[in-house]
Amino acid sequence: MNLPKLARIALCAALLVFSSSAVLAKKSDKAENEYPNATRSEPKTSMSASESRDLSKAADLVNDGENDKALPLIEKVLAGRKVGTYAQAFAQQLLGRVYWDQEQEEPALAATSKAIELDALPNNAHFGLMYQLAQMQVQTEKYADALKTLDRFKSETGVENPDQIALLGNIYYRLEKYQEAADTMKRAIAASSEPKESWNQILMASLFELDQYGEAAKVIQGQLAKTPDDIKLIKQLATVYINDDKYPQAIEVLSKAKEKGLITSQEDYVQLAKLYANAEKPKESAATLKEGIASGKVTPDYEVNKLLGDVCGQAEDEACAIDAYQKASAQSTDGNADYQLGYMLFYADRGAEAKVALERAIKKGGLRQEGEAYVILGDVESYSDNEAAALAAWQKAQAFPSTKAMADQRIKAIRSGVKLKRSSKSK
């Protein structure tokens, strides 16, 4: 049995987007200078008493989530004939926040960009908003714009911190520039005393896309050293091993997890069973499925019963294989389980039952081995001394390239008066 390669890891690179609950600054009071190396000089900030009153109240309302009440005040200021540049910038900043909370992405981006372009906010607010814009652009999949914004932020502030580097790595990942993403995330992780889990996830996913499975495994192993019972990481490590064709390592990872009681889903049990089957360990595969079914963690649906029949057959446990195939037959929409059932029954010297199963398989259709089904059906009829029915079945088998030679031999022998001898079960 060949185990298909699993789909590439679908790892969602977590967005590093600003918190919607962030408090909007209302004044440029004597706040600590967060950007001491900025090339931009602090602008003069002043607004009329009415503008200050309206925008202060609007900011409070926005921070309290009362955007509908804040919007008229913001629009009032922006509509003023003599509105100052600072008041405009502050109002646009608030407007961008309101639109973002309302999930109006394009207006939110436009208003936030306008607040920056007006170049009137204090440095802390101006550059904070610039970084926030980059995050918003990532959220809205405007990655090229986000790169430009981040580059401008770094150039004008002289700042490059771990969060900022990680955001850049996130953008590279989303642009499918996986080598740049991996290199950048390594820098972010190295620069931080407490790297976020999402950074490791993006690094691992980037390495995975580059087919650098060994490096990806090291990243996950490093995380597992901190949280050894994290089933998400365990499954990711197993998937990396599978895609690197390291099935024994994948089996070891998942089997140890099962021993710890961490494997609890049907998907995980079936995956482990398939790994055992692929490693030519059908007894272990069958035992895994049986354990899952007995514990109630695995529902014996068609896929499970069909797989159990396959691995029990490989393990030469005829009783188990026949029972599993019988259950799969009752659940099937095509004849493949019935074909396998007929095959097992035939070699278990249960010819009458094999005939019923094979005829049912052919009637259901969708067979991957239709020619073989006719060959075995012909053999069943021949051993029952029903030569006419045997010839009819073999003649149908002649129509299939995979069984034409076998059918020809049988027809020639039977017509020459040679009695068909029971063949041994094919492996």
Q: What is the pLDDT of residues 229-269, one digit of tens each?
A: 999 999 999 999 999 999 999 999 999 999 999 999 999 99
94-140 pLDDT per residue, tens: 999 999 999 999 999 999 999 999 999 999 999 999 999 999 999 99
pLDDT of residue 425: 58
* pLDDT value of position 419: 80
Count the neighbouring beta carbons within 10 Å of the beta carbon of residue 409.
12
Give the orientation angle of helix 162-174 with respect to helix 143-157, to 10 degrees.
Answer: 160
> Is the pLDDT confidence value at 353 over 90?
yes
Q: Does the pLDDT at position 206 exceed 80?
A: yes
Residue 79, pLDDT score: 93
Burial class of residue 125, CB neighbours in 10 A (0-12, 13-18, 19+):
buried
Cα gap 369→294, rounded to integer Å: 32
DSSP 144-160: HHHHHHHHHHHHHH---
> Which pLDDT score, from 0 to 100, does residue 76 have?
94
**336-347 vs 302-314: helix crossing angle, rounded to 10:** 30
120, 206, 361, 390, 413 from 374: Cα distances, Å:
84, 50, 10, 9, 17
14: pLDDT strictly greater than 80? no
Q: What would the mean pLDDT of 14-21 be, rounded to a whole number?
A: 32
Nearest C-alpha neighbor of 134 from the set 112, 159, 111: 112
Alpha-carbon torsion angle 258, 264, 267, 271, nearest 10: 0
Q: How confident is the model at residue 354 (pLDDT cuts 50, 70, 90)?
A: very high
Whole-number Å distance between alpha carbons of 4 and 307: 14
Report, as an integer, the average pLDDT of 64-80: 94
What's the token pair of residue 263?
A: 């494997």
The mean pLDDT of 339-348, rounded to a whole number, is: 96
Helices 318-331 and 302-314 sit at what angle, rounded to 10 degrees?
Answer: 160
DSSP state, 280?
T
- The Cα-based distances of 265 to 123, 270, 287 in angstroms read 52, 9, 16
> Is the pLDDT score of 2 beyond 60?
no
pTM above 0.75, yes or no: no
Supply 54's token pair: 């309206």
> How much of the chain, in percent, has pLDDT values that exceed 90?
85
How confident is residue 426, by pLDDT bands cut at 50, 70 and 90? low
Q: Please provide the DSSP assignment of 47-98 as one string.
A: --HHHHHHHHHHHHHHHTT-HHHHHHHHHHHHT-TT--HHHHHHHHHHHHHH
Q: What is the average pLDDT value for the chain, to the nearest integer?
A: 90
pLDDT bucket at 418, cuts 50 / 70 / 90: confident
Q: How far apart are CA 32 and CA 222, in angstroms?
A: 38
Q: What pLDDT is stored for residue 31 in this prediction? A: 67
Q: What interhelical angle do 162-174 and 178-191 show, nearest 10?
A: 160
Residue 12's pLDDT is what? 30
Q: pLDDT category, 203, cuts 50, 70, 90?
A: very high
Element (DSSP H or E) covering residue 326: helix 318-331
Q: How confident is the model at residue 10 (pLDDT cuts 50, 70, 90)?
A: very low
Q: Of 161, 209, 165, 134, which is closest to residue 37 (Cα–Cα)?
A: 161
If you count them, how many residues does the chain have? 427
Residue 330 DSSP symbol? H
pLDDT score for 427: 42
pLDDT band at 28 (very low <50, low <70, confident <90, very high): very low
